[in-house]
Amino acid sequence: MKTKRVLITGAAGFLGSHLCDRFIKEGYHVIAMDNLITGDLQNIQHLFGLENFEFAHHDVSKYVYVSGELDYILHFASPASPIDYLKIPIQTLKVGSLGTHNLLGLAKNKNARMLIASTSEVYGDPSVNPQPEEYWGNVNPVGPRGVYDEAKRFQEAMTMAYHTFHGLETRIVRIFNTYGPRMRLNDGRVLPAFIGQALRGEDLTVFGDGSQTRSFCYVDDLIEGIYRLLLSDYALPVNIGNPDEITIRQFGEEIIKLTGTSQKLVLKDLPVDDPKQRRPDITKARAILGWEPKVSRAEGLKITYEYFKSLPQEALTNKEH
Ligand code: NAD
Ligand code: UDP
């Protein structure tokens, strides 16, 4: 049988690199594309030299060219952490809009199926909990998070338009907070922030009063859900996440216990428009994909902590790493 060919954008990032691993394992030919703006080649270093793996250093907001056939495109390129997209707001808007348009055009040319990485942020600061896919969201377009949220909402709209008007095969995954090995220790997201602080012997910074909630999904569970969605025939958005909801204060306490640090929680200002609650309704993923998360937070956190502990000392002290 012919080897299937998949293009993965954002391949040197946290999720993109795990997707590369999964598709290589399944026997695909993987074309990994990234401009390394927030990613790190270290995440995919182990794949270089494999016959069925190639890397292209490219900004997908500019015209994208790939030679040969393509069966699938997975568009994961985008800054994803609030401190990243606040630092590079224009690039964030461009990769979600122009980048998505370029890749949809490529998918149309190659007659490939395209899956886009959307996000729970399309629900903004939600007024319903848990969030089903039918909820339209509560987003402030001109607030600091608007650059990410609106880029992702536009990305969904553009993708649906290609599906409806060009008959392109498309899939939309709405990813909820995901964690695991290869997150950047200094990417500002709450899990690397807390573990980094514990490892450096600093207090853990809880934003606001810590009563806001999130629901954390282990990366292997997410990748399984994405793989199933890609191979399904369902074109409307599907939430993939772990519904086990926790307050950020409780989460900080769990990290203190896990790491055995003698440090404590300290309260800092809550960022503007920080969502108060977030929990996926995964009824659709269960029914359509037969998917649900398998890894408990206790197990996933242990694996992730071991990963961060195994990094060289410079990774801990180097704020740019
Ligand atoms: P990440 O920052 O680790 O990875 C993103 C990758 O995209 C990086 O390697 C970066 O260099 C690359 N990139 C950014 N702009 C690019 C461009 N213009 N051209 C080429 N490459 C570019 O982030 P992540 O957590 O792996 O997130 C990956 C995707 O999943 C993003 O689209 C994000 O919005 C989505 N997502 C992630 C989460 C999560 O919890 N991790 C939740 C919801 C959605
Ligand atoms: N947060 C925190 N301390 C930190 C980093 C984040 O209390 O050092 C909070 C943040 O305000 C938010 C939650 O943790 O309420 C999750 O933040 P993250 O940036 O990981 O993801 P997102 O807000 O995009 O869900």
Instruction: Tell me, using a 6 A CB cutoff, whether residue 117 lines ligand 1.
Output: yes
Encode pLDDT of 4-63 as tens digits: 999 999 999 999 999 999 999 999 999 999 999 999 999 999 999 999 999 999 999 999
Q: At 312, is the pLDDT very low, low, confident or very high (cuts 50, 70, 90)?
A: confident
CA separation, residue 169 to residues 107, 117, 237 (Å): 9, 15, 13
Encode pLDDT of 133-189 as tens digits: 999 999 999 999 999 999 999 999 999 999 999 999 999 999 999 999 999 999 999
Q: Please name the residues in contact with 293: beta carbons below 8 A apart, sequence gap of 6 or more.
A: 217, 218, 221, 241, 242, 243, 244
Residue 246 bridge partners (DSSP): 214
Candidate of 185, 190, 242 to mutate for ligand 2, largest count of ligand atoms within 8 Å of Cβ: 190
Answer yes or no: is the ipTM higher than 0.85: yes
The highest-level CATH class for domain 3-177+216-238 is: alpha beta
Instruction: Tell me, using a 6 A CB cutoff, whether residue 248 lines ligand 2.
Output: yes
pLDDT at 193: 97
Instruction: Tell me, using a 6 A CB cutoff, whether residue 190 lines ligand 2.
Output: yes
DSSP 229-261: HHHS---S-EEES---EEEHHHHHHHHHHHHT-
Ligand 1 atom nearest to 183, measured from its CA: 3
Largest interatomic CA distance in the chain: 58
List residues with catalytic annotation: 148
Inter-axis angle of helices 248-259 and 297-310, to 10 degrees?
60
pLDDT at 319: 54
CA of 123 to the centre of ligand 2 (A): 16
CA of 72 to the centre of ligand 1 (A): 18
The percent of residues above 90 in pLDDT, for the chain, comes to: 97
For residue 268, count CB atoms less than 10 angstroms from its CB and return exposed for 0-12, middle for 13-18, buried for 19 or more. Answer: exposed
Is 317 a residue whose pLDDT tops 90? no
d(CA 265, CA 95): 36
Instruction: Tell me, using a 6 A CB cutoff, whether residue 79 lines ligand 1.
Output: yes
CA of 193 to the centre of ligand 2 (A): 9
Which residue spans within 47-112 are E strands per DSSP? Answer: 53-57, 72-75
pLDDT at 1: 84
d(CA 122, CA 138): 8
pLDDT at 321: 40
To the nearest whole number, what is the mean pLDDT of the chain?
A: 97
Is 320 a residue whose pLDDT tops 80? no
Is 254 a residue whose pLDDT tops 90? yes
Q: Is the pTM of this model over 0.95?
A: yes
- Is the previous residue joined to 130 through a cis bond, with omega within 30 degrees of 0? yes
Instruction: Tell me, using a 6 A CB cutoff, whether residue 92 lines ligand 1.
Output: no
Name which residue sits closest to atom 19 of ligand 2, judged by CA.
189
Q: At 259, is the pLDDT very low, low, confident or very high (cuts 50, 70, 90)?
A: very high
Is 285 a residue whose pLDDT tops 70? yes
pLDDT at 263: 95
Place of tokens 């391949």: 11
